Amino acid sequence: MNPSLRLSQCLLRVRLFRAAAAGVVLGMTPSVTRAQVSVDALEIAFPLGSSAAAITPKEFRVTNDGAARTQVTITLQDWDRSDTGENRYAPLGTLPQSCRAHVRVFPTVLQLEAGTSAAVRVWLDDVEGVGAGCYSILFIETPKPPLSSADTGLRYTLRYGVKVYVEQQLQPTAELFNATVAPLRSGRSLSLELGYRNVGARQTIARGVIEVRRPDNSVAATIPIPDFYTLPGASRRLSATLPPLLRGTYVLLAMIDFGGADIAAAQVQAEIP
């Protein structure tokens, strides 16, 4: 069977909430009613390759869902992901793929009455200066509640992250490397360790499957690889635990669909004692 067809049949598609992780700052303060805010978009995309589309301003709305007036601040920072997929944040202009001053936002401070909302405008003002693309994040945050001498409860602020993607609209390209079989720390099972690299010019949203094949090429087991995201030039470490297998020799075939014209594939032999 065609690997692409088999892949489409075997993939377990996992719905992921494509959001920047919201940060919660915890402390101690009285338990009182306070404003809470929400946003209606967690991603903004500016497609490069069409200057008209790239400079068209985008908007999202911030809503005060609480019962009290609140202030909201909006700040621009850099972000990327670790090789295990965790979001990482840095001051604007720190990371190589930072949007720096190419992305503008207005307003940066909102005063919202209870139950009201306001639009925030985001635009790209230097298309040529962006180059191949860039990534940043807008943090939408309410101030920390003041401390008091009667502190008895939780004190917290809620921070939303709206990710900004400025990308070339090119075909995604990726590869697998360093496929190895390793014992788990428990020593009772094996895992397939894979390296995945985005070698294209835009983020990939990839998913895949690992087929465990017997010497006669029949499939003994399949292991789904859930959706994962990788920025251009970045690598991901993937790990999949093998199910219980009879003693013998197996071939592990990993296939990753990253949205390109082909799939990324790698295979390695495993000996089950």
Q: Supply the DSSP string of 94-115, one letter for each residue.
A: -STTB-GGGEEEE-SEEEE-TT
**Res 159: pLDDT:** 86
Predicted confidence pLDDT, tens digits, the chain (273 residues): 444 444 444 343 323 223 333 333 333 333 444 558 999 999 999 988 766 665 789 999 999 999 999 999 999 999 999 999 999 999 999 999 999 989 999 999 999 999 999 999 999 987 777 888 999 999 999 987 666 655 556 666 678 999 999 998 899 999 999 999 998 766 668 999 999 999 999 999 999 999 999 999 999 999 999 999 999 999 999 999 999 999 999 999 999 999 999 999 999 999 988
Q: Which residues contact 32 (CB under 8 A, 6 or more apart)?
A: 145, 153
Same-domain check for residues 116 and 241: no
For residue 223, being part of any structural domain is answered with: yes
- Domain C-terminal end among 120, 146, 168: 168
Specify the pLDDT at position 26: 33
Question: For residues 73 and 24, what is the distance between their CA atoms, to the nearest angstrom?
Answer: 15
**109 and 209 co-located in one domain:** no
Residue 213 lies in domain: 171-272
Q: Determine the Cα–Cα distance for residues 116 and 100; give it in Å rounded to an integer.
A: 31
C-alpha separations of 197 from 19, 56, 168, 203, 265 in Å: 22, 31, 18, 11, 12
Within this chain, do residues 154 and 241 fall inside the same structural domain, yes or no?
no
Instruction: For residue 15, tell me if it sits in a domain.
Output: no
Q: 């720390």: which residue's tokens?
A: 185
Q: Which of 139, 168, 197 marks a domain boundary?
A: 168
Assigned token pair, 103: 């992305």
Same domain, 163 and 187: no
pLDDT at 29: 36
Residue 49 confidence (pLDDT): 78
Backbone φ, ψ for residue 186 (5° rounding): -70, -20
- Same-domain check for residues 109 and 200: no
Q: pTM for this one?
A: 0.80
Q: What is the CATH number of the domain that holds 185?
A: 2.60.40.10
